Amino acid sequence: MPSPLPSPWSLSQAQVAIEAVAIVAFALSGLIEAARKRLDAVGVVVVAGLTAFGGGTLRDVLLDRRPFFWVHHANWLWALLALCGAAMLFMRGRHIAPTERAMQWPDALGLGLFAASGTQIALDLQMPAIVAVLMGMVTAVFGGVLRDVVCNEIPRAFSDHRPYAVCAFAGGWVLVGAHAAGLSPELALALAALAAGALRVAALLSGYTLPAWTAGLPPR
């Protein structure tokens, strides 16, 4: 029986690539939000960094995983500084007004990618499926939560009623199901990232919202 063709990427390389793209996407969403709040250059870099690295750092703390992604790949810190500098110059030079809607699209991309990557990292550490999916959700959601807290906002993940954490949770289960179906690790990661990101985009485009808590509250 012929041996299967080797994959062009090992799983670790695929994870690094996915986390890299997700970091850029989340950094852009944090940068746009910081610009909307009219923060100075230091504030922009801090908010972009918290958004990009916050969820993955919390995941690694919970899983006792060392070194952190941004410590092991320290060049991404330089890339973050360069991205913030270039983006601020570009937006000022072109007089581009940062809007909440502009922030939502890179945020949706980062959500899908981090949900897949975080779930896979936990599975690699032999975590149960439910724990792995929750770690994917933490990776995908808590960078945005930190971004909103630092920008003095109630985190949108908890308050705007649009599916967010639910999308990451669903994407994690797509990854678990793809592995159970025997798909290649790279394809499983791609399907999970696509599922979570597409669900978030669909929620944004359709305006669908989750039910709000109303029990015991006076009518508006």
Looking at residue 98, what is its pLDDT? Answer: 65
Peptide bond into 67 cis (omega under 30): yes
- Local confidence band at 1 (pLDDT 50, 70, 90 cut-offs): very low
Of all residues in the chain, the percent with pLDDT exceeding 70 is 87
Exposed / middle / buried, residue 209 (Cβ in 10 Å: 0-12, 13-18, 19+): exposed
Give the pLDDT confidence score for residue 5 in this predicted structure: 43
| Residue 203 token pair | 């929620």
Q: How far apart are CA 114 and CA 163, in angstroms?
A: 16
Res 146: pLDDT: 93
pLDDT: which is higher, 64 or 218: 64
**What does the pLDDT read at residue 35?**
85
Residue 61: per-residue pLDDT = 94
pLDDT in tens, 17-38: 888 888 889 998 888 888 888 8
> Where do runs of H (alpha helix) occur along 63-184?
69-72, 75-93, 100-124, 129-150, 156-159, 165-180
Supply the pLDDT for residue 213: 65
Select the more confidently predicted residue: 77 or 3: 77
What φ, ψ does residue 40 adopt, rounded to 5°?
-80, -175
pLDDT bucket at 100, cuts 50 / 70 / 90: low
Residue 112 CA to residue 123 CA, distance in Å, equals 17
Q: Which position has the token pair 């592995």?
A: 179
Q: What count of residues does the chain have?
A: 220
The string of pLDDT tens digits covering residues 144-172 is 899 999 988 888 888 778 888 999 999 99
Query: In which band, very low, low, confident or very high, does the pLDDT at 4 lie, cut at 50, 70 and 90?
Result: very low
pLDDT cut 90: percent of the chain above it: 44
Kindly tell me the sign of the dihedral angle through the C-alpha atoms of 180, 181, 184, 186. Answer: negative
- Residue-averaged pLDDT of the chain: 85
DSSP 110-131: HHHHHHHHHHHHHHHTT--HHH
pLDDT of residue 215: 58
